[in-house]
Amino acid sequence: MRLGFVSAILPDLSLQEVMQFAADEGFDCVELMCWPVGKAERRYAGVTHIDVATLDDAQIAAIHALCERTGVSISGLGYYPNVLSPDPEEASACLEHLKKVIAASARLGVGLVNTFIGRDWTRSVEENWARFLEVWKPLIAYAEEMDVRIGIENCPMLFTRDEWPGGKNLATSPAIWRRMFTEIPSDHFGLNFDPSHFVWQQMDYLKPLREFSAKLFHIHAKDARVDKHRLDEVGILATPLEYHVPKLPGLGDVDWGKFFSVLSDVGYEGSVCIEVEDRAYEKTLETRKQAIRQSARYLRQFMTGGK
């Protein structure tokens, strides 16, 4: 396995600075954010370490040289919008940019894009399904043409009132993944699995590693803690951030020893990227860097391979 981190937590660093930091700290890889240049819509979004809209041959050569000089590879390109938004203008803009990210991944030789399925959060799963197929069948066909795999993160995107009640990502559970992968059967359509999202949904985060082992394209290493004293006050019908908090690996409820034990059993040899969304570590650039270092120290005890 290869250990890396998600670049969204370092928006104030340039691509060169992100890759040099990764090299200095002994990381194997980085998932690089590729949002359109502009204002962020939410936390951890709007980060552009590669501008795919203007990517040309000279920039591609420079990125390859940067990877070679630092010894750090790109685990995947990340862009997490809502291509199924009920706002047609937003959905169209997100879809067009996602296609550019896929094309950039092919041109860079990365071969992987991590993203969300999207969802009209005001409608049920069934009410979203026809549109999911309408948008994603041709999108996966496009990715196949480019020989780029698409890793869908399992985050429900249901944290705040504007995402209530359905969240902005359909791909939240094994039952839905099973149906997705049956109706769009493709070796280029899989998962960017993050166990933290199952913790607050009170789901087993180990079972999917076995059933969906062939679909594990990428792993996010993020933890979460359910605060029972808060849950007892507000109940599971409250918006989730009222009773749980994202944490660094080792500071939440994920048993990372068991997680890596099963991950190695199923033969996973890909990238595991630390995703920092722990607000206790977000006061300054240096505390965010410390969060990445601390997470790496903790996770390396469970990992084989890499640097």
The answer to whether residue 135 scores a pLDDT higher than 70 is yes
Where is average pLDDT lowest: 160-164, 246-250, 298-302?
A: 160-164
**Mean pLDDT, range 99-107, rounded to an integer:** 98
Integer CA distances (angstroms), 241 to 91, 202, 214, 221, 235, in order? 26, 14, 32, 19, 12
DSSP-based three-state secondary structure for 141:
helix
What pLDDT score was predicted for residue 40? 66
What pLDDT score was predicted for residue 43? 73
Residues 6 or more apart whose Cβ sits within 8 Å of residue 283: none
The answer to whether residue 287 scores a pLDDT higher than 70 is yes
Integer CA distances (angstroms), 50 to 100, 236, 276, in order? 11, 38, 19
**Mean pLDDT, range 200-229, rounded to an integer:** 97
Instruction: Report DSSP state, residue 267.
Output: T
Instruction: Look over the chain and give the mean of its residue pLDDT values, rounded to a whole number.
Output: 96
**Mean pLDDT, range 81-104, rounded to an integer:** 97
Question: What confidence category does residue 84 fall into, taking pLDDT thresholds of 50, 70 and 90?
Answer: very high
Instruction: Report DSSP state, residue 281.
Output: G
What pLDDT score was predicted for residue 151? 98
The answer to whether residue 149 scores a pLDDT higher than 90 is yes
Q: How far apart are CA 238 and CA 257, in angstroms?
A: 31
What pLDDT score was predicted for residue 263? 97
Question: What confidence category does residue 306 fall into, taking pLDDT thresholds of 50, 70 and 90?
Answer: low
Question: Model confidence over 164-186: pLDDT tens digits?
Answer: 899 999 999 999 999 999 999 99
Question: What confidence category does residue 44 fall into, taking pLDDT thresholds of 50, 70 and 90?
Answer: confident
Beta strand pairing call for 223-226 and 244-247: antiparallel
**Mean pLDDT, range 21-46, rounded to an integer:** 89
Q: Looking at this protein, which amino acid is placed at residue 261?
A: S
Question: Model confidence over 238-271: pLDDT tens digits?
Answer: 999 999 999 999 999 999 999 999 999 999 999 9
Q: How far apart are CA 197 and CA 168, in angstroms?
A: 14
